[in-house]
Chain A
């Protein structure tokens, strides 16, 4: 009883400890470790060197409620303060005011050809993946410089009054294809259109897929993509590189990409037979190599062999419309490939990242293997979280074709719900969009053959809103988890953290002020993307960005975009991301196989005929000419055992007699049964 009381007292004391200004660093050794909430919560103090101890400010804020003195000091611009509003009741549309600097500040802004470099977000509720708290944010030079209350900021700053709205790290869309070629055409959303759409949806960074043609140089493709993106991108970006074809020569390029170019993620394909598909042997080799480099392996998981079979079967049945796409790529084929990819990952001890989790069964397999300890991540996308595959059977060809992507959307209408639930509980970790938009006329390339319809849907703009609508607004997920799945987890997996994915001092000024109540009807008429058909057409969606700040500049406010082509920077990513490779490294140390030390076997050895009875192994892999094929193991040592050379009966297929070669010393007891 007394013990319990003492514990109670301690609990009560805690806020006081924390409330001591700046106490976090001084008394860290004395204060008990406090666990924060949230699935991916970090241990307190772990990021002390990276961010301010926010809790100490929280307590202070409670004591000094007066908000007027926030805007004191030498801020040049006058503050238009609106009455503080609690989040729930406030229905005024913008809900926040932006105060422009005047006079000389305007001049400076014009000189730079852009907006002011200094920004102060006041009175917002900062939501990170681990906790939410009220604080002001001061941005300068595209970086968060200060975080807290009563900030001392230089004059001439632009002030955004957030009035208690959520301030979240800008979204990171880890899966876009904004320059994917298909039969000589390219996606209608290029880096400019695509990133514009991203920013309009609250996504301030994309990670795009470089898709080199099979046989082409990865480095050249990478440079081409980087050039295009540098010219056109409106927000920060990074690149995944797809490996279309595995051979020994790729290894050098991969090494260069990882060590010099700042790429730490590569996609391999288990589908697209005879084009991108890799055999299990190649996957094994690729996984082993990428693990050594410290990269993340992204897997497009579908069984390409079976898809090819199903496609020819369905075309043979005379089904040529988009429904054939869904029919030829059933859910099971996705689940099977996911299972195989994870098995390979486990064997190699390599982290596996499943792109585009589209079906319940595939998601369940990811969840199950995570429970068994595999280092695997699953990425559902906007389309799989918000809509389903029933539209493939639409009577309108253009509509049905717009949904064509692979793996296809599952025709099971309960899929989005299930995926949202898994996302909320942490079984799936990251949300991408797989934005790869083709116009209807491009889709019409496959009007008589569904296998020719270019694959890809839109989703970069709608991503954040749909996660909010489908998971947070229905109560599956809290706002912290929302931040985790829309940006923080992605930043951790791809080693962008804490530069991206967190609101903390020193982080990039990629910030979104989020309106949880904003209602929007998705339609192609108002979207930023260039496609004529939006697959979410007509869907109502709750939640959206009010203000989007990218690189410390306001790029979206009042429903208007102010973007600048080519301002997006390439963000290099280092290999061996702690978030995934800590475990992998430990496992490599402990998992080493050990043999049994035995005495030499010195019993009789059966004499096998010298000529092997099976045919010479035909090459079963897509061997590149550069690759020297290692002889199969079983043949390697075979000649060692032809103790007596060619036999009289070598031409007889099978020998019925057994020849025992007894050693001169007789049998030793090592062969005895014991």
Chain B
């Protein structure tokens, strides 16, 4: 009843807005929601559909006849629920969602949605739609943009093992959980071509993905030669985000220098730098220490990846990104302190985003000490789940207040048999947990049901923010005319218990086993087709399209661009120093430069000589000295200029 009462008011406001939009000096109207955009900011991108809603109402009153399009589906005249089931098999391109409350990240309102050709064509009340459209009843439910899972690894190998969930199984699970788009990580072998790896991933995903997807590319070994490939990926292939590892020493790890260089290149290309933030050097030392102590079980994994090591790397990544003036995206925020560092950096003005994942929001790391090896091993991922049980609540709070912005799942599953490769050595346990299917429900349960977050923020953290950051907005992440028809009808009340028996992933062990979540998708529409209804999945392998993403997303780069203009350092114009200069002997005491970095140096990379040595020879004014062989000279030679000292060196 309450919902019904709201209706007229919504309508009135819509009418009001449409009126206001007519005049040129518009008063700014602030909409609700933390991430609400300034009104009209997206005018050129989307239709101001609020202003349309009164018009159809009037038109409807006039009683214009709705002519069904005969040529499309002549049989689709009826509108009963029975008919929906009948037309289910046809996969009608025309859909109308009726009576639902549309929830975007900025506001909620009641309206019907008409979908054609996989795109939202109309939004409003009393829509004039062609006949034969399948009608979906959404009364009592909310209608939200389909979730976007920004972090999955459905093909990334670990020690030559491929994840148990490939693109088919993974996207199926995603759709079952209300996620209609994934962004998967391409993990090239260190030293191999990024483009080749990207093509390999695309081939696989095109063949088997059931929902739209996009790809991040991981930079497993940075060298100058990658610049061209990156440029090709950004400009021709539609990739605008790249991940750099600060962990996995001697394998993927990048040094600070490499990160700085990479960040500079990515900024110039307009891409987003993602980091896997953990200090690989410390982890390796800790691993050695623990193995020496005789700890070989999964608890060794969490002991060797302590929270601080994650926090330190997050802090360092932010510092480097600040220096390079590059937007930064921290994948897998797993601990309180790491999240705090991000929140603080944002308060200081950094362009940095944090992504907690399903696992860190829904469970904790106490299970690493489980007596059941298989269970303990199932939780192994990096950075590990924090053993402190309060972590998930804390991360949900930060997510609610906007300090963290995006949620991923880091879905990368390995079967127990695969995990058992590390049964005698925790460092060999393949890292990864499930979460793609549970993501939306976990957030609903932990944040919305708990009262931390409202439904608009729920939409923001599950899809809209991700779409904005990765430049998919407003095609994805919003219910608006012209947007892709990736829509979820969310039942906020239906409870669901996660279990390995009922989930769509192929692994035997679900880390959320037994967790009860209120809120689950009732109907999922992907590309304008109903893929989940009444608990039944109806997916088509290979129907997922690759969604290219343009560089320089406004949401991220507007600020960066402004800062680039501001950040010009200027030197001080001074007269030439003409005082005495101490004479330097030419034999330098410094050792030949050896690599001091954290990661493997690339053979292809030209070694940069250190700055201090670069200009050193310029000062050997008097050539070799008699006493060059003497290590240090105690006497000081002052070269007085012929003209005597000028007063520029005087002490003032």
Contact = CB atoms under 8 A, between A and B. Distances in A.
Interface of A: 181, 183-186, 188, 213-215, 245, 273-275, 277-281, 284-285, 288, 303-306, 308-312, 314-315, 317-321, 323-324, 327, 330, 332-333, 335-336, 339-340, 343-344, 346-347, 393-400, 439-442, 444-445, 447-449, 451-452, 524, 532-533, 537, 593-596, 598-601, 603-606, 608-609, 612-615, 617-622, 630, 632-634, 637-638, 640-641, 653-656, 658, 660-661, 670-674
A281 B284 contact: yes
Contact of A593 (B295, B296, B580, B618): B295
A531 B319 CA distance: 36
Contact of A612 (B159, B249, B610, B633): B159
Given A274-B610, A445-B582, A620-B595, A347 B309 contact: yes
B291 interface: yes
A454 to B, nearest CB: 9
A463 B261 CA distance: 41
Contacts of A327: 569
B572 A673 contact: no
Given A279-B596, A532-B651, A673-B508, A632 B638 contact: no
Interface in B291-328: 291, 293-297, 299-300, 303, 306, 308-309, 311-312, 315-316, 319-320, 322-323
Contact of B574 (A181, A321, A340, A641): A321
B590 interface: yes
B274 interface: no
B290 interface: yes
B281 A280 contact: yes
A613 B252 CA distance: 13
Query: Top 8 A-B pairs ranked by shortest CB distance?
Result: A280-B281, A617-B250, A305-B256, A618-B600, A274-B593, A319-B571, A595-B295, A336-B319
B598 A280 contact: yes
B571 A673 contact: no
B250 A620 contact: yes
B589 A181 contact: yes
21 contacts: A184-B589, A185-B636, A279-B598, A306-B320, A306-B323, A339-B316, A393-B572, A395-B572, A395-B574, A397-B577, A441-B636, A595-B295, A604-B416, A614-B190, A618-B250, A619-B595, A633-B287, A637-B428, A638-B159, A641-B428, A673-B508
A609 B613 CA distance: 47
Nearest to B164: A658
B420 interface: yes
B292 to A, nearest CB: 10
Interface in B413-469: 414-418, 420-421, 423-425, 427-428
B229 interface: no
Interface string B363-374: 000000111111
Contacts of A281: 249, 281, 284-285, 598
Interface residues of B toward A: which range? 35 or more
Contacts of B24: none
Contacts of A532: 651
Given A439-B582, A658-B417, A451 B612 contact: yes
Contact of B632 (A186, A214, A339): A186
B619 interface: yes
Interface of B: 157, 159-162, 164, 189-191, 249-251, 253, 255-257, 260-261, 279, 281-282, 284-288, 290-291, 293-297, 299-300, 303, 306, 308-309, 311-312, 315-316, 319-320, 322-323, 369-376, 414-418, 420-421, 423-425, 427-428, 500, 508-509, 513, 569-572, 574-575, 577, 579-582, 584-585, 587-591, 593-601, 603, 608, 610-616, 618-619, 631-634, 636, 638, 648-652
A237 B255 CA distance: 39
A671 B374 contact: yes
B323 A674 contact: no
A598 B423 CA distance: 11
B651 A533 contact: yes
Contacts of A442: 582, 636
Contacts of A312: 608, 611, 614
B513 A339 contact: no
Given A305-B260, A393-B572, 7 more contacts: A396-B574, A396-B650, A399-B651, A604-B416, A621-B596, A633-B425, A655-B162
A674 B375 contact: yes
A343 B279 contact: yes
Nearest to A224: B632
Contacts of B322: 332
Given A213-B589, A671-B374, A671-B416, A606 B421 contact: yes
A314 B575 CA distance: 19
B633 A184 contact: yes
A596 B371 contact: yes
Nearest to A659: B417
Given A275-B590, A613-B157, A305 B369 contact: no
A318 B417 contact: no
A164 to B, nearest CB: 39
Contact of A596 (B369, B588, B633, B634): B369
B294 A614 contact: no
B131 to A, nearest CB: 46
Contacts of A451: 611-612, 615
Nearest to B649: A398
A600 to B, nearest CB: 8
Contacts of B300: 595
A620 B588 contact: no
Contacts of A214: 590-591
A601 to B, nearest CB: 4
Nearest to B368: A596
B417 to A, nearest CB: 4
B158 to A, nearest CB: 9
A84 to B, nearest CB: 44
Nearest to A275: B590
Nearest to B373: A601
B288 A633 contact: yes
Contacts of A448: 615, 618
A641 B416 CA distance: 15
A655 B614 CA distance: 48
Nearest to A324: B571
A445 B509 contact: no
A128 B312 CA distance: 39
Given A214-B591, A398-B649, A440 B415 contact: no
A593 B293 contact: yes
Contacts of A398: 577, 579, 648-651
A603 B323 contact: no
Of the candidates B417, B421, B500, the one having the most CB atoms from chain A within 10 angstroms of its own CB is B417
Contact of B648 (A280, A396, A615): A396
Contacts of B634: 186
Contact of A273 (B253, B287, B423, B596): B596
A615 B191 contact: yes
Nearest to B261: A309
Contact of B309 (A285, A343, A593): A343
Contact of B160 (A323, A395, A613): A613
B647 to A, nearest CB: 10
A399 to B, nearest CB: 7
Given A275-B610, A397-B577, A620-B253, A314 B594 contact: no
B619 to A, nearest CB: 6
Contacts of A278: 596
A337 to B, nearest CB: 9
A670 B281 contact: no
B651 A184 contact: no
Nearest to B420: A605
Contacts of A303: 256, 316, 319
Given A184-B633, A343-B311, A603-B374, A638 B428 contact: yes
Contact of A181 (B164, B190, B577, B632): B632
Contact of B589 (A183, A444, A637): A183
Nearest to A332: B319
Given A333-B319, A601-B374, A615-B190, A655 B253 contact: no
